[in-house]
């Protein structure tokens, strides 16, 4: 597993032992970042990588010009692996790590900016996407017009919470990548007033 492009391009990342973590393949990560770069979504982004596993998605974003990345996982081993990978790249100053359940995020810490780009890559078939999206929205973790990259199983039911809309969808074998947009309910109400 390697960083695909940018200032850390070609650098190796530590991979998990066993099957507890399912990292996004280099090929899919490359395709996702092509899609994001075409939208101007990576440069200077404030990134959150939820269900971060190895940290590969957030670290790829940092490599390609993101400003900072908050990696969140409820599994301590996953979070430690993400930290190890950030340190091996020299990206620890732009990185922050939070041990927390994605469905129970609570309020965003005051010293953090709202995210403009979010990666959600949970274990498949466990219905974790909508609780995580609801927690992000309720805790003010997201900037208005944030983009979210959601990696799910091909059979995923695409009914997202109200504040989120699907902008694009790509299929790669058993994996579906959804690109979603976020608009806070307050902003939507103001726009309609």
For the chain, the distance separating the N- and C-terminal CA atoms, rounded to the nearest angstrom, is: 49
pLDDT value, residue 18: 60
3-state secondary structure the chain: CECCCCCCCCCECCCCCCCCCCCCCHHHHHHHHHHHHHCCCCCCCEEEEECCCCCHHHHHHHHCCCCEEEEEECCHHHHHHHHHHHHHHCCHHHEEEEECCHHHCCCCCCCCCCEEEEEECCCCCCCCHHHHHHHHHHCCCEEEEEEEEEEEECCCCCCCCCCEEEEEEEEECCEEEEEEEECCHHHHHHHHC
- Quote the CA–CA distance of 152 and 144 in Å, as a whole number: 23
Confidence of residue 15 (pLDDT cuts 50, 70, 90): confident
Confidence of residue 193 (pLDDT cuts 50, 70, 90): very low
Confidence of residue 188 (pLDDT cuts 50, 70, 90): very low
- Quote the CA–CA distance of 191 and 169 in Å, as a whole number: 27
Handedness of CA 50, 51, 53, 56 (dihedral sign): negative
Confidence of residue 31 (pLDDT cuts 50, 70, 90): confident
Compute φ and ψ for 99, nearest 5 degrees: -85, 105
- Quote the CA–CA distance of 169 and 156 in Å, as a whole number: 12
Domains of the chain: 26-192 (3.40.50.150)
Structure tokens at 75: 């599994």
């Amino acid at each position: 597993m390697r960083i695909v492009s940018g200032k850390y391009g070609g650098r190796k990342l530590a991979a998990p032992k066993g099957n507890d973590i399912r990292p996004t393949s280099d090929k899919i990560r490359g395709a996702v970042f092509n899609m994001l770069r075409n939208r101007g979504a990576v440069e200077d982004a404030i990134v959150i990588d939820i269900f971060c596993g190895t940290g590969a998605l957030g670290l790829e974003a940092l490599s390609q010009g993101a400003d900072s990345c908050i990696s969140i996982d409820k599994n301590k081993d996953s979070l430690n692996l993400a930290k190890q990978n950030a340190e091996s790249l020299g990206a620890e100053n732009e990185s922050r790590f939070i041990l927390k359940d994605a469905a129970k995020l609570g309020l965003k810490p005051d010293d953090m900016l709202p995210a403009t780009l979010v990666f959600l890559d949970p274990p498949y078939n466990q219905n974790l996407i909508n609780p995580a999206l609801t927690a992000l929205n309720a805790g003010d973790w997201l900037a208005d017009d944030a983009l979210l990259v959601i990696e799910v199983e091909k059979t995923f039911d695409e009914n997202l919470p109200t504040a989120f809309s699907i902008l694009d969808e790509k299929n790669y074998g058993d994996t579906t990548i959804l690109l979603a947009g976020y608009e806070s309910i307050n902003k939507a109400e103001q726009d309609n007033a």
